[in-house]
Structure 1
Amino acid sequence: MARIGSRTTGRPTLAEVARMSGVSPITASRALRGVTTVAPELAAKVMAAATTLGYVANPAARALASARSHSVVVLIPSLSNQLFIDTLEAIHDVMRPRGLEVLIGNYHYDTAEEENLIRNYLAYQPCGMLLTGFERTDASRQMLTASGVPCVHMMELDGDADALAVGFSQHQAGRAAAQHLIERGCTRPGFIAAQLDPRVMQRAEGFRQALAEAGLHAAEREVLTPAPSSIALGGELFSRLIRQAPAVDGIFFCNDDLAQGAVLQALRQGINVPQQVAMVGFNDLPASAHMVPRLTSIRTPRAAVGRVAAQALLTLLDGKAVTPARQDLGFKLMVRESS
């Protein structure tokens, strides 16, 4: 098999992309830069070859040879979610004393957008990357592997067995919510979720599994939407669930903002919480402890995840091994008046 990658770095080269696509290096370069004079069919061949090889253009190598030693890329799915704000703050606190610049990429829960961010950021040779979760495109995986850049995954643990991960079991968190509602005497528990990213669905799976084991799961007591999570949406989804399953007596919400909206909507509709409907949120956002009634929620270690993940990445950059490869920081059920 022919050798792939440059002699010095081992990474795929422009010459290899050109050879695989059957064009000259100049044409390949123009196609990758989006020059419109390149015939569309040739440009398509070049992009396909680049994806297959995991090739990433490297303007930084010409402009700033030391770029790899000063930049850490952090890719998150949202900048409007308090969860990730707390995580980013912790990452900055760890990286700043080491003189490392933190580059933030927000991909809005879109793996294609994340792929573009990975391609663009790898062009500047970051010394490391912190990634959220494990769901990404094959092209993203190929680029990350080919780049050789150290990576640490955050927020979940169930993914690539060979990857370093810092987080907690989303599945077990969902089970904990179900078990709490059952212990509180709920016999018709329901589930409300938005965004529906992989971590939400892992929590949903754990919640459903625990209910099924107790003989209490019913699909009609669920309302799910891919719309972004918000307090306003929480009120709307609560009203929808009450209409379609009036007998529901407990609800697990995939995020606290939905639960907060539901608490307010229940007040407007004259529904007593928790006497008629118990409520459990997720993430334990700051306002949850000040709702009326105060919201029961699963507290997640979002700041600790950022701190430990950043420390793990620094360990890799120092040439040391990180053990264990899976660092489970756990979660805590904060029982309050809503359940």
Structure 2
Amino acid sequence: MSNATSSSSKAVKSLRATGRITLSDVARAAGVSPSTVSRALRGERAVDPALIERVQVVSSKLGYVPDPAARALASQRSDHVAILIPLLSNALFVDLLDAAQKTLRAAGFQTLMGVTHYDASEEEQLLREQLLHRPAGLLVTGLDHNPVTRKLMESSQVPCVHLMDLPAADRDAAPYCVGFRQTDAGAAMTRHLLQTGRKRIAFAAAQLDPRVMQRLYGWRSALQEAGVYEPTLEFLNPAPSSLALGGVLFEQIMQQRPAVDAIFFCNDDLAQGALMAALRLGIGVPSQVAIAGFNDLTGSDQMLPTLTTVRTPRAQIGEAAAHMLLSLMRGEAPAAPQLDLGFEIVQRQST
């Protein structure tokens, strides 16, 4: 019997009294120090691959499960990153989360996710709870937070990167963030509709979160520049965005403002619902009214007609933000505190 096997057997016997496998038990069974076990299980490159394999075999045989709380207490931080996103029912945030999680996991970090439901108080409470676990870093959606949440982020001294939004160009002490300028994207789509000859362009929105309101501001600015802005063409509904609500908004606009020749919806799901309603009502798109969306969600290129939209790089934002956070967690300064990944106007049949 090898020394490792003999040590492993002794470790198993000694644990019958305590009922819990510890890092020290794995270290004794593998014939190495506890710190080596810790580094081996994290897969650090400085550890010999053969040693990593040996530690993993012994750890698996003993049934060792790392104690994240003990590791965080010993190192003053854990090996997880806290991520706060508004919703999981929106493909936008699913794509972002998936890309960020893959990047962080490849670097040896786990993710602890919190869903804020666009509620500032819920975001504050989730952040308080996650900071108790001493996260190595934070990924937080948006830049609009209540004063208490901002103070918690600052006082925690935990590296933090914000997702999706970028601060105003003249803002001092801007945070680390990766995204694009929502206002610019809203203005760009509005200008596209103007260039197709549309003059009475409505804006239809739901949820009314800060990013939606920035798109609204971009729409307003573009129409004001063109001298065709009409306040009565804003249709804002605080309800959650959905296909069904898109249909309701479309019918409302066509009944109340029949002269409208284009509708810019703040999200693709609303625009998709509008296209279905137009088909049901026999209203020609784009011959009678053009329809545009935002985010280029799944199915937009399969609608009838296919949907013109703003393509946003949510997966690239998640990946780039994770890489920026990894740099900060290593104590390295990113090349730039803000990374603008831009957007793309995708013209299809609906405009």
Structure 2 equivalent of residue 262 of structure 1: 274
Alpha-carbon displacement from aligned partner over 1:62-120 (angstroms, at most 9, x marks no partner): 98434723010010011111000000110111011112110110000001000000100
Alignment of 1:95 onto 2:104 = yes
For 1:144 and 1:250, the matched residues in 2 are separated by 42
1-side partners of 2:180 and 2:145: how far apart? 19
Distance in 2, matches of 1:97 and 1:258, equals 36
What is the rounded CA distance, in whole Å, between the counterparts of 1:288 and 1:231 in structure 2?
12
* The one of 199, 202, 211 aligned to 1:199: 211
Q: Does 1:75 align with 2:75?
A: no
1:304 paired residue among 316, 327, 330:
316
With normalisation by structure 1, the TM-score equals: 0.81
Out of 290, 295, 314, the residue aligned to residue 326 of structure 2 is 314
Alignment match of 2:264 (pick from 249, 252, 255):
252
Q: Which amino acid aligns with 2:207?
A: Q
- Kindly indicate whether the alpha-carbon contact (under 8 Å) linking 1:134 and 1:153 is maintained by their aligned counterparts in 2: yes
CA distance in 1, matches of 2:74, 2:299: 46
What is the CA distance between 1:220 and its match in structure 2?
A: 1.6
Alignment-mate amino acid for residue 130 of structure 2: Y
Identify which range, 77-86 or 150-159, moves more after superposition.
150-159
- The residue aligned with 2:244 is 232
Residue 215 (structure 1) shift = 1.2
Q: CA 1:122–1:61 in 2, change beyond 3 Å: closer, same or farther?
A: farther
Q: Does 1:208 align with 2:208?
A: no
Q: Matched residue pairs, number?
A: 281
Work out whether residues 71 and 102 of structure 1, in 8 Å CA contact, stay in contact via their aligned partners in 2. yes
Cα distance in structure 2, aligned partners of 1:233 and 1:67: 47
Instruction: Tell me the equivalent position of 1:84.
Output: 93
Give the secondary-structure state (helix, strand or coil) at the position aligned to 2:161.
strand
Cα distance in 2 for partners of 1:128, 1:185 equals: 48
> Are 1:175 and 2:187 an aligned pair?
yes
Q: What is the CA RMSD across the aligned residues, in angstroms?
A: 1.5
Which residue of the partner structure matches residue 157 of structure 1? 166
The Cα of 1:177 is off from its aligned counterpart by 0.9
1:35-184 equivalences under 5 Å are 60=69, 64-66=73-75, 68-158=77-167, 161-184=173-196
Contact 1:61 1:124 (C-alpha < 8 Å) held by counterparts: no
Could you tell me how far 1:325 is from its partner in structure 2?
A: 1.0
Amino acid of the structure 1 residue aligned with 2:199: T
Match of residue 185 from structure 1? 197
Contact kept, 8 Å, 1:60 with 1:67, in 2: the verdict is no
- Once residues 259 and 152 of structure 2 are traced to their aligned partners in structure 1, the CA distance between those partners, rounded to angstroms, is 50
8 Å CA contact 1:94, 1:310 repeated in 2: yes
Per-residue CA deviations over 1:260-286 (Å, capped at 9, x if unaligned) read: 000000111110000000011000002
- Structure 2 residue aligned with 1:10: none
If you compute each CA radius of gyration, which structure gives the higher value, 1 or 2?
A: 2
Residues of 2 paired with 1:65 and 1:192: CA distance? 52
Q: Counterpart of 2:4? A: none
| Secondary structure of 2:328's aligned partner | helix
Paired position in structure 2 for 1:243: 255
Q: Between the two proteins, what is the percent identity of the paired residues?
A: 53
Counterpart of 1:178 in 2: which secondary structure?
Answer: helix
**Structure 1 letter corresponding to 2:204:** I
Please state whether the residue corresponding to 1:309 is helix, strand or coil. Answer: helix
Q: Aligned partner of 2:296: which letter?
A: D
TM-score by length of 2: 0.78
**In 1: Cα distance, 2:262 partner to 2:174 partner:** 39
Distance 1:63 1:314, change over 3 A: closer
Q: For residues 117 and 234 of structure 2, what CA distance do their matches in structure 1 show? A: 25
